[in-house]
Amino acid sequence: MSDRSAVIFGNQMPKKVQKKAAASKKKYIKKYGDDSGADYEIRISPNKYLGDALGIMNVKVGNQEISGEFDEKKGIIVGNIRMGFGHYRISMAIASAAKSMGYTPYWMDLNSYPETTCTKVIGAQNDLYSLGSRLSQKFKLFNKFVWEPINYEGFRQLSYNAADQKNSELMATVYKNVPKNIPVVATHVWPAQAAIHAGMKNVVNAVPDNWPMALHYAEGALHTVQTWYAYQGYRIGNGFNKDKVVKAMPEEALMYTGHYVDHELVANIEADCDERIRRSEEGKPMRFLLTIGGAGAQKEIFKEIIKYLLPYVKEKKAAIYVNVGDYKNVWTALTEEIPELKGYAKVHFGEGIENRSLQERMPDMLKGRLDGADLGEGIHAFWHENIFEAVYCTNILMRICDVLVTKPSELSFYPVPKLFIRRVGGHEQWGAVHSAEIGDGTLECRDIPHTIQMLELFLKDKSYLKSMCENIKKNKKMGIYDGAYRVVEEAMKMKER
């Protein structure tokens, strides 16, 4: 195994950086062990939550009964981790595109194999990131002097990538019994780096966000990006060694694809946007979708949004969808702080009062009714115990909402009118900038007064929503939302070369 932490795209790392990277790996080995000699069995089974909708096949790794085989001709690995909802959502977009193109997506969540060193290492880093996210929203000084600098400049440096390259060597074992020719599309850099270390031959590293960072380098993989701004930044390694010029990525290592979006969202852009315009012109309640992830890191902002919108809900000028993902405690906290919610909210939890899965309830949701309630008015809360339904519920609601209210993370790239609230981490702000430039979202509202101002614009100026819908339709014609298809297409082409 070559040491990819020593030279990164032709950039020689200083000895002290290499030593620090090696020390990081040794620290994890001491804490979690080194299972590189293990020979984990693999079990393949349909995903019971989204297997029908997205064609997902789960890949389990560990000491268990072997069953199922990979389709080496039509199969494609979707490598991911659970770190918030973003990487899962991008993975679902890739899986959806793959299914629509006649391929079988195999779901490998490297954070779901508890017997392995791989998952133990990822879990530890995930816990730290989640803690930092929450603290950044509670303590302004921590956010200003610790969290923003780490997310904005720390992760940007080649020295950070060097450490990740060493640590990801401990993750490679999970790929040992995966056929090496099956293409891998990784929606986080660690599954991409681990796949390269394991000898997987056709690896695509689907880079998220719009702020180029060396964190996302996985040399040996094809890097795909969603914007031309990101393409330029990654090609020259802009700022990856502070103010020094670094060696550029080779042309063949980088590709612009457009936004990673699910097939069912892209295919219905015109119809969904036309429905939004029709509802607005007919004076129907404007539907606001609030997505609360990250263990409720931005609960305070959403609380003020709901309080502002409540009078409009009572007057049937607004409707609210709140998806708390798999964090039921967030909804409980909101109802305690806004007692009126209990009287107005229709709760759609778990499998609902009709005891049906999300896949079974999807047709009703798209028609605007669920559990006997009209989704066109009032307040509706959604929670699911498993992460697949928790994340995909937002995808369904995006199709029937008018405005998505979200931080400028992975959702910045989705074809729905968006109101961006304050970011969590400096890198996210560039998602809002890109969205505002192509006309399908607002600027980032960094405080509550500006968020309220934007809500007022949507509610009182019909042209605001309409222009975003028209821009989304234009963007589709230009192929801006076709990134997931292009990623899958390129991954399958790699196998033929």
Question: What does the pLDDT look like over 365-398, one tens digit per residue?
Answer: 999 998 889 999 999 999 998 999 999 999 999 9
297 pLDDT band, cuts 50/70/90, is: low
Could you give the C-alpha distances from 311 to 247, 297, 336, 350, 422, in angstroms and in order? 57, 25, 18, 28, 24
pLDDT of residue 142: 78
- 8 A C-beta contact, residue 61 and residue 120: no
Contacts of 208 (CB under 8 A, 6+ apart): 86, 87, 90, 187, 188, 216, 226, 260, 410
Q: Does residue 64 register a pLDDT over 70? A: no
- The per-residue pLDDT for range 149-193, each reduced to its tens digit, is 777 787 889 998 999 999 999 999 999 999 999 999 999 999 999
Residue with tokens 């080995």: 29
CA distance 418 to 392: 18
Amino acid code (one letter) for 462:
K
Average pLDDT over all residues of the chain:
91
pLDDT of residue 66: 62
403 DSSP β-pair partners: 288
Q: What's the whole-number mean pLDDT along residues 220-247?
A: 95
Could you give the C-alpha distances from 17 to 128, 227, 243, in angstroms and in order? 22, 30, 17
pLDDT of residue 295: 47
Q: Does residue 481 register a pLDDT over 60? A: yes
- 8 A C-beta contact, residue 306 and residue 334: yes
424 pLDDT band, cuts 50/70/90, is: confident
Contacts of 463 (CB under 8 A, 6+ apart): none
219 DSSP β-pair partners: 221
Q: Is 189 exposed, middle or buried (0-12, 13-18, 19+ CB in 10 A)?
A: buried
- The per-residue pLDDT for range 262-276, each reduced to its tens digit, is 999 999 999 999 999
Residue of higher predicted confidence among 7 and 297: 7
Q: Does residue 296 register a pLDDT over 60? A: no
The rounded radius of gyration (Å) of the Cα atoms in the chain is: 22
pTM score, whole prediction: 0.94
Q: Does residue 290 register a pLDDT over 70? A: yes
| Angle between the N-to-C axes of helices 117-138 and 15-32, in degrees from 0 to 180, rounded to the nearest 10 | 110
CA distance 122 to 113: 10
